Amino acid sequence: MNEWQGRTAVITGGGRGFGKAFAEALCERGAHAVLVDLDGDAGQQAAVDLASRQMSAQALQGDVTDAARMEQVMALAAERHGGIDLLINNAGLHSDEYGQPMRVLGLEKIRRLFDVNVMGTVTCTLASVPHMAGRAGANIVNISSMAAYLGGTAYGASKLTVAALTIAFASELGKDGIRVNAIAPGMILTETIKAELPEATKAMVRGGQALQTDGAERDIVEAMLYLSGSGARFVTGETLRVTGGLGAGV
């Protein structure tokens, strides 16, 4: 039996990139995907694309830092599908713009970075819990980053905090039967990264990897399917690095 048949996944930042790829993989396995995105048009287009392939997808516009809206979004998802089985906290600020030194970013952008990457994760998690507690196999997957372990940027610090929140929520929500884990992607050559990242930077990162191959979107999707599935039923509070060995250590 397909363990995802008829189950419900809420995916923030679901309109593009990892979020849309997560939705597609889950929908292919029979899940209902609720795509939450600040860009309502992107979310709607992604849902329409999935629906055109006879998949069950719904788009809801919203800012992950808006607690009232996220409570409403989770309630709408649960009302339509009978509850929430998986929350993927994928929405976040990144790219070269937010990878700059803190003195370059300035307080306003640093505050916005932490508001989205950190408080967005907290806000969505707290809003989802009433609709997940007690559901068999319910779990949360956060998206951290290998930058969390490399240091040097506010972005990395925000993603290190996501890894810490993963541990804290795993401890707190275990009594409700909810597992909480995270994925820390390394250099994953999505179309956006291919376009944004200079070739010299790509070469430098590859040089630090144990595996001399490029990471692909499917590698992160496979990690999500493992952590959210029954094969990881005894795994919680962990951050799985998917980096080709970049920064490997203890």
Task: State the CATH number of the domain containing residue 209.
Answer: 3.40.50.720
Express each pLDDT in 161-182 by its tens digit: 999 999 999 999 999 999 999 9
Residue 29 is assigned to a structural domain of this protein? yes
Percent of the chain with pLDDT over 90: 87
Per residue in 117-129, pLDDT tens? 999 999 999 999 9
Number of domains in the chain: 1
C-alpha angle 21-199-217 in degrees, rounded to nearest 5: 10
Side-chain half-sphere exposure of 75, counting CA atoms within 13 A: 6
Query: Do residues 110 and 153 lie in contact, with contact meaning Cβ atoms separated by under 8 Å?
Result: no
**Beta-carbon neighbour count of residue 214 at 10 Å?**
17
Which pLDDT does position 99 carry in this prediction? 85
Predicted pLDDT at 152 = 83
Q: Identify whether 149 is a catalytic site residue.
A: no
E strand map for 28-85: 32-37, 56-61
Of the residues 98, 149, 155, 226, only one is catalytic, namely: 155
Residue 221 lies inside a defined structural domain of this protein: yes
pLDDT, residue 250, reads: 62
Domain assignment present for 173: yes
Distance CA 139, CA 129 (A): 10
Instruction: Answer yes or no: is pLDDT of 29 > 60.
Output: yes
Burial class of residue 70, CB neighbours in 10 A (0-12, 13-18, 19+): buried
Average pLDDT over all residues of the chain: 95
Domain holding 220, by residue range, is 8-239
Q: Is the pLDDT of residue 1 over 60?
A: no
- Per DSSP, 116 falls in state I
